Amino acid sequence: MGGLEVTPAIDEYCRTKIGRACAHVDPREIRDVEVRCSARGGEGDRGGKEHSTEVIVRVTRGVTVRADASGENLYATIDGAADKVARAMRKHKEKHSGKGARHASHEASAKDALIDSQMEVSEDEVPPAA
């Protein structure tokens, strides 16, 4: 695939869309964001021009999020790649946030309390069936 001249409008669009996609995590966790836009086909070749956008986000803890999209419209490929990045970043946030551990501990303590309360009931305390 060939390179593509990045106009100020394309640059701003990429920064806005990918910035929103990465907003799901703390900015301090993002080490590097790389966006590659390319185009091939068109004029002399058969078929229409095909655009491609690839986004690579390097996050702390050695995680790398990759997303790509291709199609006839460059802006649509940027949108598609940004949507994939947003989903991956939300997943990363949920997986690495402290909430998961806190919710698991609450759930475990509730189960333990339920089990303990069931163990404390003896047959003498159960009312006879009517």
Predicted confidence at residue 124, as pLDDT, reads 42
Secondary structure string (H, E, C) spanning the chain: CECCCCCHHHHHHHHHHHHHHHCCCCHHHEEEEEEEEEEECCCCCCCCCEEEEEEEEEECCCEEEEEEEEECCHHHHHHHHHHHHHHHHHHHHHHHCCHHHHHHHHHHHHHHHHHHHHHHCCHHHCCCCC
Each domain of the chain, given as residue ranges in start order, spans: 8-119
> What CATH fold (topology level) applies to the domain 8-119?
Double Stranded RNA Binding Domain (3.30.160)
Q: Given this model, what pLDDT does residue 9 score? A: 93
> Which residue ranges of the chain lie beneath pLDDT 70?
1-4, 42-47, 98-130
What is residue 70's predicted lDDT score, i.e. its pLDDT? 94
pTM of the model: 0.67
Q: Tens of pLDDT along 52-73?
A: 999 999 988 788 999 999 999 9
Per-residue pLDDT at 116: 44
